[in-house]
A and B are shown apart, each in its own frame.
Chain A
Amino acid sequence: MEIKKTSLNKLHQDCQAKFVEFAGYEMPIQYSKGVIEEHKFTRSHAGIFDVSHMGQLFIYGNENLTSDLEKIFPLDLKNLQQNCSKYSFLMNEEAGIYDDLIITKLENGYLIILNAACKEKDFEILNNILSKKYKMELSNDRALVAIQGPKAVEILNETINGVKHLTFMTGDWFDYNGQKLFVTRSGYTGEDGFEISILNDLAEEFTKSLIKKGAELIGLGARDTLRLEAGLCLYGHELDLNKTPVEANLKWAISKERLSNGGFVGSNKIINQIKDGAKQIRVGIKPEGRLIAREKTKIFNESELPIGEITSGTFGPSINGPIAMGYVDKEFSKIDTKILLEVRGKKHPANICKLPFYKKSYVKGVN
């Protein structure tokens, strides 16, 4: 199958990107500055991320659509205000996760941002559960550009006047060169920032205007270290069909209103797991010293009995040390529990620690 390219591919090349294949797309893993500098630049200034490979699914409908989506997502969508976003999951009956996503209520329906590797399958699953009653579009003509970091609001507001009034997890349509952009105040780095859904034809020029104002392109390498420091899950690593939101320690994303009555796909399993507790749970892990424990590293207790596995592990540039997330048996999930990580045949000491590793700086407001 031919590798897909986003509308910013030429700009990435012009900026000396190193490319990798990711979910069928040719994506920049880093630019000439390298992962650590790009990471730090995002935390201190503003990084631009091409996330156009992610799915932008528009579903059009009214109150009936809202009730039908409540049979799928564990959210109180009836009371969700227009232009407000929620983090959620698409699950199977066993509460295994097909995908994690952000859903935003629009005037005439919903916009759901899906992971690149899952988007086509998600479309089929949703369309089947909704019995093909609603018009659904997995957009091919829109790019998705994120700008993240403390300078993001100032830079973006110069290009799109008014975005500074958005608060975390809200969005709106804005005019740009006679076209409509949908902007949400959100992101996946732990920093304040925005995601901009923009027509492909305008994406390069728009991104260049952000670069002119001092933002810089950041690759997937730094996106991964940033999200891991922020304690955020990555689908295919922390989340998959064998994990539930309760096990992933994402209970906070399930509306309380929905837990009492259930009625969404996977609700029985989730309600039971909340009552009885999950066997394993996602935790933050800090290896002692500089050792990096990668995905699939086996975790042991102090008596050297296996208790779990790492799902993501790297060096955290802002922490200046190694960090990881993984699943451990519940009785070993308390903060400061001493554990052992088996790397290259040797067991090394590590500690369960609080998430996030790096404090988030979201701009929350009343909504």
Chain B
Amino acid sequence: MSEVKFSKEHEWITLAGDVATIGITQHATEMLGDIVFAELPEKGSNVEKDGTAGVVESTKAASDVYTPVSGEVVDINQAIVDDPAKINEDPEGAAWFFKLKMKDISELDSLMNKEEYDKFAKESSS
């Protein structure tokens, strides 16, 4: 498993072989509040870097989920669709969103590492 990387849209991503696992960050869930609905991309569909790949809704509002890299959706986490509260409980672990077979692994290069993301998140919320 590769180092965890982060996007400015508050997604996290890890890579195993050429399959990336993507979810939303702890910081994102704290900003959103209680999540009560999740919509994920369809298995087998193709998503493009920085395009929308799902929706989460809190009691207050709906927010798009973006994918930080391009690829084919090879798996989705049905458990968070059935029980969206799981996203607040363990956003950077059990509550991953979807897995992509990546087309171009170099797309990871432009993403932030943990330290850079923590700094970014702190600045963007203050």
Given the contacts A292-B57, A294-B62, A315-B57, A221 and B37 also touching, CB distance less than 8 Å: no
B36 contacts the other chain (CB 8 A): yes
- Specify which chain B residues have a CB less than 8 angstroms from the CB of A36 in the assembled complex: 34, 36, 59, 85
Q: Give per-residue flags for B46-68: 1 if the beta carbon is below 8 A from chain A beta carbons, else 0.
A: 00000000010111111000000
Give per-residue flags for A303-320: 1 if the beta carbon is below 8 A from chain B beta carbons, else 0.
000000000001101000
List residues 345-364 of chain A with CB under 8 A from any CB of chain B: none
Within 1-53 of A, Cβ neighbours of B (below 8 Å) are at 29-30, 34-37
CB distance from B125 to the nearest CB of A (A): 11
Q: Which of A37, A294, A315 contacts B36 (CB 8 A)?
A: A315
Assuming the contacts A30-B33, A34-B34, A292-B37, asked whether A221 and B57 have C-beta atoms less than 8 A apart, the reply is no
**Shortest CB–CB separation between residue A107 and chain B, in angstroms?**
42
Contacts of B36 in A (CB 8 A): 36, 290, 292, 315, 322
The interface residues of chain B lying within 8 Å CB-to-CB of A294 are 61-62
Question: Would B37 and A35 count as touching, CB distance under 8 A?
Answer: no
Q: How large is the interface on B (under 10, 10 to 19, 20 to 34, 35 or more residues)?
A: 10 to 19
Inter-chain contact A29/B60, CB cutoff 8 Å: yes
Q: Say whether B71 faces chain A, with CB atoms less than 8 Å apart.
A: no
Residues in B whose Cβ lies below 8 Å from that of A315: 34, 36-37, 57, 59
> What are the residues of chain B within 8 A of A29 when measuring CB–CB?
60
- Specify which chain A residues have a CB less than 8 angstroms from the CB of B60 in the assembled complex: 29, 35, 221, 314
Which chain A residues (220-246) contact chain B, with CB distance < 8 Å? Answer: 221, 225
- Taking the closest CB of chain B, its distance from the CB of A361, in whole angstroms, is 22
Whole-angstrom distance between the Cβ of A77 and the nearest chain B Cβ: 39
> Chain B residues with Cβ under 8 A from A314's Cβ?
59-60
Q: Which residue of the partner chain B has the closest CB to A220?
A: B60
Task: Contact check, B34 vs A35: say whether CB atoms are below 8 A apart.
Answer: yes
State the interface size on chain A (CB cutoff 8 A): 17
How many residue pairs at the A-B interface have CB separations less than 8 Å?
41
Q: Is the CB of A225 within 8 A of B55?
A: no
A212 CB within 8 Å of chain B: no
Q: CA A37 – CA B37 in complex, angstroms?
A: 17
Which residues of chain A are near B55, meaning CB under 8 Å? 344
Interface check A181, CB cutoff 8 A = no
| A290 touching B33, Cβ below 8 Å | no
Q: Does B84 contact A (CB under 8 A)?
A: yes
Q: Flag A50-64 by CB within 8 Å of B: 1 or 0 each.
A: 000000000000000
Q: Report B91-126 CB contacts with A as 1/0, cut-off 8 Å.
A: 000000000000000000000000000000000000
Known contacts A314-B59, A344-B55, A290 near B84 by CB under 8 Å: yes
CB of A221 within 8 A of CB of B33, answer: yes
CB distance from A64 to the nearest CB of B (A): 47
Nearest chain B CB to A319's CB is how many angstroms away?
A: 11
Chain B residues lying within 8 Å of A344, measured Cβ to Cβ, are 55
B-to-A contact residues, CB < 8 Å: 33-34, 36-37, 55, 57-62, 81, 84-85, 88
List A residues at the B interface (Cβ < 8 Å): 29-30, 34-37, 221, 225, 290-292, 294, 314-315, 317, 322, 344
Q: 6 closest A-B pairs (Cβ-Cβ)?
A: A315-B36, A35-B59, A36-B34, A34-B34, A292-B57, A290-B37
- If A291-B37, A322-B37 are given as contacts, then 7 extra A-B residue pairs at C-beta distance below 8 Å, sorted by A number, are A35-B59, A221-B60, A225-B59, A294-B61, A314-B60, A317-B59, A344-B55
26 A-B contact pairs sorted by A residue (CB < 8 Å):
A29-B60, A34-B33, A34-B88, A35-B33, A35-B60, A36-B34, A36-B59, A36-B85, A37-B34, A221-B59, A221-B60, A290-B36, A290-B84, A291-B37, A292-B36, A292-B37, A292-B57, A292-B62, A294-B61, A314-B60, A315-B36, A315-B37, A317-B59, A322-B36, A322-B37, A344-B55
